Structure 1
Amino acid sequence: MAEQVFRVMLRMEIRPGMEEDFEKVWQEVGDSVTDHPANLGQWLSRSAEESGIYYIVSDWVNEPLFRAFETSDRHLVHRQKLHPFRSGGSMTTMHVVAALAGAARTEQGTR
């Protein structure tokens, strides 16, 4: 069986009034994650329901390569740049077991 994509989802609580700066810095330092050879992509989403809550989702080739990145100096530097904006958060990890493309994606190509 082929290895499953390893997905990481971070829930980040951003200090009030720092949301815009957080989004800017996240964009500026994101390549420290996406340039890693095992990274398949990364997304930043703002909660539509809770003020100051963001979700960062990143996909990885597999869990061992993500764990190697997670403990690397590269990741430490990335975290240090985002830490001043955080007041709390959590991490959830998972293995993607299936994916279905929606009608809009299959008709219009990748968005």
Structure 2
Amino acid sequence: MPYGPGTFRVLLRMHIKAGMEREFEETWGRVGKIITEQPANLGQWLSRSADEEGVYYIVSDWIDEPTFRRFELSQEHLEHRTKLHPFRDGGSMATMHTVFRMTGAGEEVPR
């Protein structure tokens, strides 16, 4: 499924309780399949802020908004959130529709 116009992106900003960052990262890695195994999910990324202590960003891309919204209301999503909730000390969510996608020259370089 191609990225491009219409791709729906979810951006979560999560503040993790002090001292729980490593356990949060490990748990996120273990439970992430709940998201990526969804047929409409295109992938997700966990990033740690370089500027703010305990702040993480999660980006999740979906083929479209309606399929994400159905997942958002599902029992699977509730179970996923329940596993990550003990680590959270706050956060926010932003959603957006992709307008353009440009790949960089380093896209194919193994990391």
TM-score normalised by L of structure 1: 0.93
Unaligned runs of at least 5 residues, structure 2: none
Question: Aligned residue for 1:20?
Answer: 22
Using the TM superposition, give the Cα deviation of residue 96 of structure 1 relative to its aligned residue in structure 2, in angstroms.
Answer: 0.6
CA contact (8 A) 1:3 1:62 kept: no
Q: 1:42 aligns with which of 41, 44, 57?
A: 44
What is the alpha-carbon root mean square deviation over aligned residues? Answer: 1.4
| SS in structure 1 at match of 2:91 | strand
| SS in structure 2 at match of 1:51 | coil
Q: 2:90 aligns with which of 81, 84, 88?
A: 88
Question: Once the two structures are superposed, what CA deviation does each residue of 1:26-55 show, in whole Å capped at 9, x if it has no partner?
Answer: 000000000011100010000000000000
1:79 aligns with 2:81: yes
1:5 aligns with 2:2: no
Identity percentage over the alignment? 60
TM-score normalised by L of structure 2: 0.93
How many residues in Structure 1 have an aligned counterpart in Structure 2? 108
Question: Once the two structures are superposed, what CA deviation does each residue of 1:46-71 show, in whole Å capped at 9, x if it has no partner?
Answer: 00000000000000010000000000
CA contact (8 A) 1:4 1:62 kept: yes
Unaligned runs of at least 5 residues, structure 1: none
Matches of 2:92 and 2:55, distance apart in 1:
11
Matches of 1:104 and 1:33, distance apart in 2:
26
Matches of 1:3 and 1:102, distance apart in 2:
17
